[in-house]
Each structure stands twice: as structure tokens, then as C-alpha cells.
Amino acid sequence: EVQLVQSGAEVKKPGESLKISCKASGYSFTNSWIGWVRQMPGKGLEWVAIVYPGDSDTSYSPSFQGQVTISADTSISTAYLQWSSLKASDSAMYYCATARTHYAGGRYIPISFDDWGQGTLVTVSS
Amino acid sequence: QSALTQPASVSGSPGQSVTISCTGTSSDVGDYNLVSWYQQHPGKAPKLMIYDVSKRPSGVSNRFSGSKSGNTASLSISGLQPEDEAEYYCSSYTTSNTFHVVFGGGTKLTVL
């Protein structure tokens, strides 16, 4: 059974850095794409980024390119999403999820998110 | 404004069938069989219900089915049950502007 367990809720101030995590189990972490999906309060879903832990290949949504960094540590089967300087507009629920991908335009695109973590609520407020 | 258009709400009585539409363009839904559907109960993580237009992941009830006609994909739910009440989101691969995936704005299904 695939399990994705995310780190707990965070409250940060604008300008601070943050790294949230997602520990995976029950499948081959190294050989599967995993990514992050944002859901702002009362809003819909947005793809953020995906990573292939086996070779650290990454792909970012155009909306989030340069705003966040995705990474993975195969030694502990954990994926991460980090910000170097948070903004109030980063406040949202962030879900990690395994992803099926389609290769186009020189990069991989997540065409479905299959198994999901429980979510990490990020609140950025002064 | 979402790239894919879904009705804000649909409703049905227990045992009935409902269909949720997801309208895109020839750059996404119309040209690619890469549409997925997700179910999200309040305060819970989304759950994948349909992928590649009409395929069901293991464990998803066969009361849920997906289809596509032209630029519109549809999620049909038969034999409505109270636990089907949730928000439903579609998504599609798109080549509009860049290679990407876009979501619909979500449809609230109410089981009367």
C-alpha cells in the first residue's frame, strides 16, 4: 500500500524560508515521479512541481518556476518542497502525490496524480 | 478563471445518475486522451477517480465512469450514494502556451 506522510502545519513570516517534506513508503520511491499540488483556501488544485528521485530530474509548472524548489532524498524516501523567501500569497494547503507523466517539449508533465499525502498547511502572515 | 470549465454544482438523489462536464479546447481535452478526475471530500486530500479519460484506478467503484466527446470530458456517477457528495475536479494535459497540465475549477456534487 502506497503511503505518503507529510510534515506538519507551518506558520511563517513573509521573507522566511521553509522546507516541507513528504515521506513515501509502499512502492519504489526511486523509480516513480512524485510531486506537489497547491490548493489555496476555498480554491481549486494547481500543479506545482514534480521530481524523479532516481536521477533528480525535475519539472516545474510555469506558474511556479523560480518560486519554489523541489528535491528528493532517496536514502530516506522523502520528497521536499522549499521556499527561500515566503510571501503571504504562498499560504495554502500543499499536497504531495505520486505522478504519472507524459514527455513533451523536452520535459515531463504530470498527467495524473495517483496517491496523495494528507496535506501540509502553510500559513504566511506577519 | 480556470483553464477547464466545470459547472459549479450538480445534484442528484440517492440511486440516480449524474454527469459532470469538463470543457476545454482543441489544445487540451479535444486533442489528447489525458484527462483525469479527482474526488475531494471536505478537509481531505483529493483522490484519483479516473485517468486517461476513462480508466479507473484499482479500488475505485465501477459506478464511476469517464468519457469524452470533442472538447468536453465527462464524469458519470451511477447509483448515487450519500458518500459521493464531494467536490470533483477534472484535469487535462494541454499544449496551450506551453506543455502543461491544467485543472477545472471544481464541481460540488450534492446528494439530496
Q: Which residue of A has its CA nearest to B35?
A: A111
Q: Is B82 exposed, middle or buried (0-12, 13-18, 19+ CB in 10 A)?
A: exposed
Range B30-53 average pLDDT: 97
DSSP-derived secondary structure for B42-103: TTS--EEEEBTTTBPPTT--TTEEEEEETTEEEEEE-S--GGG-EEEEEEEEE-SSSSEEEE
Report angle CA B43, B53, B69 to the nearest 5 degrees. 120
Distance from CA of B13 to the nearest CA of A (A): 25
How many of the other CB atoms lie within 10 Å of CB of B103? Answer: 23
Indicate the pLDDT class of residue B23, thresholds 50, 70 and 90.
very high
B70 occurs within a structural domain: yes
Contact A109 B105 (CB under 8 A): no
What's the whole-number average pLDDT of chain A?
A: 96
Q: Domain range holding B58?
A: 9-111
SS3 content of chain A, % helix, strand, coil (to 5): 5, 60, 35
Q: Encode pLDDT of A42-51 as tens digits.
A: 999 999 999 9
B41 occurs within a structural domain: yes
B35 occurs within a structural domain: yes
Domain count, chain B: 1
Indicate the pLDDT class of residue B2, thresholds 50, 70 and 90.
low
Is there a contact between A5 and A29 (Cβ–Cβ < 8 Å)?
A: no
A 37-66 → B contacts, CB under 8 A: 37, 44-47, 61-62
Q: Encode pLDDT of B54-106 as tens digits.
A: 999 999 999 999 999 999 999 999 999 999 999 999 999 998 877 689 999 99
For residue B1, pLDDT over 70 is answered with: no
For residue A114, pLDDT over 80 is answered with: yes
B3 occurs within a structural domain: no
Contact B34 A102 (CB under 8 A): yes
B4 occurs within a structural domain: no
For chain A, domains (ranges, CATH) are 3-119 (2.60.40.10)
B57 chain-A contacts, CB cut-off 8 A:
114
Q: Encode pLDDT of A58-97 as tens digits.
A: 999 999 999 999 999 999 999 999 999 999 999 999 999 9
Distance from CA of B107 to the nearest CA of A (A): 10
Contact B2 A44 (CB under 8 A): yes
Range B11-20 average pLDDT: 97
Range B7-31 average pLDDT: 96
What phi-psi label fits residue B97: left (phi over 0), alpha (psi between -120 and 50 degrees) or beta?
left
For residue A12, pLDDT over 70 is answered with: yes
**pLDDT at site B97:** 74
